[in-house]
Structures are given as C-alpha cells and as structure tokens.
Amino acid sequence: MADWNPALYARFEDERTRPARDLLARVALHSAGLAIDLGCGPGNSTELLVERFPSAAVVGTDNSPSMIESARERLPEARFPTLRFQLSDIASWQPSQAPDLIYANAALQWVPDHETLLPRLLNALAPGGVLAIQMPDNRAEPTHRLMREVAAEPDFAAAIGDYDKLRTELLGLGGYYDLLSPLAAQVDIWRTAYQHPMASPRAIVDWVRSTGLRPFIDPLSPELRERYLAEYERRIDAAYPARADGQRLLAFPRLFIVATRKAMSAVRPPEGARTAARQGEGIQ
C-alpha cells in the first residue's frame, strides 16, 4: 500500500480529532511519566497528549514516513524537549520502558490479531497504567459496504483481490470486554456514531479516500482508479441523500476502549512464588 497522504488526511482534521479528544477525556490519569501515541499520524492526537500531560515524556509512533515528517513539522522536537517521534510497526512494537499511557486513536483497525495484540499492549503498561483505544466501527456503513460492492465488479476484482482481508474485523463491544476484563482492573467500553454534515458526495469520497478507501484504490492503474472512484461516488450520492440544507449526513460509528492495568498489589503471583515468600518469612 502506498504511503499516507497527510494533506488529504488533514482536510477533515476537526472531525478526526473530535473522537481523539473524547477518548482522552475518559482517561482518568492525573499525571504520566511516559505516554505513547501509537499510530500518531500527522500529530493531531499527539498534540492532545502534550497538552494534557505537559511534564510527561511523549512518544509518537507511526509506520508512515510522511506522517512522521508531518507530525515533526507540527510539533518540532526542538520546541518540545520531552517529545519524540519514531517509525515503528504496531504489530511488533515494544516499549523500552513501561508507559503510563498507551493511546491509539484510529490506528488498531489496521493491525491484525487483536486477541493477542490488545492483551500484549495492556501488559506492557506500568501498574495502574491505561490503554486507550478508538477505532472506526463502520464496516456495515454504506461508505464501506459500497467499497466492497464496487471492488467485486469484474473490472476491479482481479487487481484488488480479497477485499474482506483489507481491514481487521473488529471483535465488537462484548468481544473486547471479554478479552480485557479478566486482565484489567477496569474496562470502560462504548460505541458512538458521529454525524458529520458533508458538502457533497465528493466530500464523502475525499474523507474515506485518505483512509479506508486506500487499500481498494492503491492497487488499481490510474485509469481503473478513476473508473472505480466515479462508480463509487455515484453510489455514495444515492446512499447519502441531500438533507434540508443541502448537506449529506455521514454517520461514522466509532468504538472506544479504556482499560486500566491492575496495580502491582492486585496482581497475584504464581502459587509457587507465594509459597516461597511465606517460607522466606517463616510462615508455614
């Protein structure tokens, strides 16, 4: 897949940053020594962490060189001595020290194996640390259903391939709660559908073109890409009719998770370790 386009992504920055703020508002930490922004993109979410925790060391990571460059332009490390940006792959990322906050806004939907990934991230935290995640949950929305429908057309299917594998299937509210609640001191989980007025069908296409539509159009030749986008926009026009003011109302569901790692005193050591400890204290 081609590298991300920060300028296209930032065209709807206010709408994209709103859920990032809503996620951070539910993080109950009063302070943090180290905060990680996984999949930091162009730095809009990292900026929220810097503002919330001004004395913390903050690290923004992303696998896109263009996004990291854009983030460094937005938040120059010379102005923020405790801030660093790094290239990394979330699937294999490991912190060099245990963070107080791992924050992933609209990033983990691109990473597979959530059953393994999320417990690993939670366990990487310092005791009492927080894992805060927001992911688009819109595969059933017309925007994403129509991506798959157009991709299945014979003209595009061979180049795009198995479109069902282009994004990670989310586990749902119950699935994530069941995954994390046995490991966490507390799990706060919810789903919100934002409603974004959009000026035109083309505006909706531009929104998803910088994110969810990329795996569909990147493999196409310029001629096929133009045809795909024209057919997709035609179907978007029908799926999102003009409202009373002429705007198109784009529903955008998002899933939020805030999980707190157990404090050290709440983590029971293995039975053998407890027995050895009792013996060491002279307790039989």
CATH number assigned to the domain comprising residue 30: 3.40.50.150
In a domain, residue 21? The reply is yes
Residue 202 has a pLDDT of: 95
Q: Which residue has the tokens 């393994």?
A: 116
DSSP label of 54 = T
Number of domains in the chain: 1
Whether the pLDDT of residue 203 is over 60: the answer is yes
Q: Quote the tokens at residue 159.
A: 């180049």
- pLDDT, average across residues 6-16: 64
- 17 within a domain of the structure (yes/no): yes
Q: Which helix (H) or strand (E) holds 67?
A: helix 65-74
What is the C-alpha to C-alpha distance for residues 234 and 228, in angstroms, rounded to an integer? 10
Q: Is 248 helix (H, G, I), strand (E, B) or coil?
A: strand
Domain that holds residue 271: 6-280
Per the DSSP assignment, residues forming a β-bridge with 204 are none
pTM here is 0.85
Q: Is residue 176 domain-resident?
A: yes
User: What is the average pLDDT value for the chain, to the nearest integer?
Assistant: 88
pLDDT, residue 4, reads 47
Of 6-10, 229-233, 251-255, the one with minimum mean pLDDT is 6-10
In this structure, is residue 1 part of a structural domain? no
Q: Is residue 167 part of a domain?
A: yes
Structure tokens belonging to residue 193? 């559908």
Q: How far apart are CA 104 and CA 46, in angstroms?
A: 10
pLDDT of residue 9: 54
Q: What is the pLDDT of residues 135-192, one digit of tens each?
A: 999 999 999 999 999 999 998 998 888 766 666 789 999 999 999 999 999 999 999 9
How is residue 2 annotated by DSSP?
Answer: P
Higher pLDDT, 259 or 11: 259
Main-chain dihedrals φ then ψ at residue 187, nearest 5 degrees: -130, 120
